[in-house]
């Protein structure tokens, strides 16, 4: 696989991933990804993206519920 940014070689590895979203910050230390040997850019496969999106959706729902309770 070739890096979309620098055309370097991509190899399987693990990378950290974090996001600030809807009033919370979440960070994972080790998400499987293709990682460029040259520039370090990660590329997530569809399965990892789906897991991340699913977790964020659940967190959004729970965060919304928590904020409802706090503001009452």
pTM metric for this prediction: 0.76
Helix or strand (DSSP H, E) at 6: none
CA distance 69 to 72: 5
**Cβ-contact 31, 15 below 8 angstroms:** yes
Residue 71 pLDDT greater than 60, yes or no: no
**CATH 3.10.310.30 is right for the domain spanning 10-71:** no
Residue range 3-46, pLDDT digits in tens: 999 999 999 999 999 999 877 899 999 999 999 999 999 999 99
Integer CA distances (angstroms), 19 to 2, 4, 10, 22, 40, in order: 26, 22, 23, 10, 18
């Amino acid at each position: 696989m070739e890096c979309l940014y620098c055309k370097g070689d991509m190899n399987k590895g693990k990378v950290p991933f974090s996001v600030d979203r809807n009033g919370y910050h979440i960070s994972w230390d080790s998400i499987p990804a293709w990682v460029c040997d040259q520039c370090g850019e990660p590329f997530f496969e569809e399965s990892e993206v789906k897991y991340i999106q699913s977790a964020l959706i659940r967190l959004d729902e729970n965060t919304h519920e928590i904020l409802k309770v706090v503001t009452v």
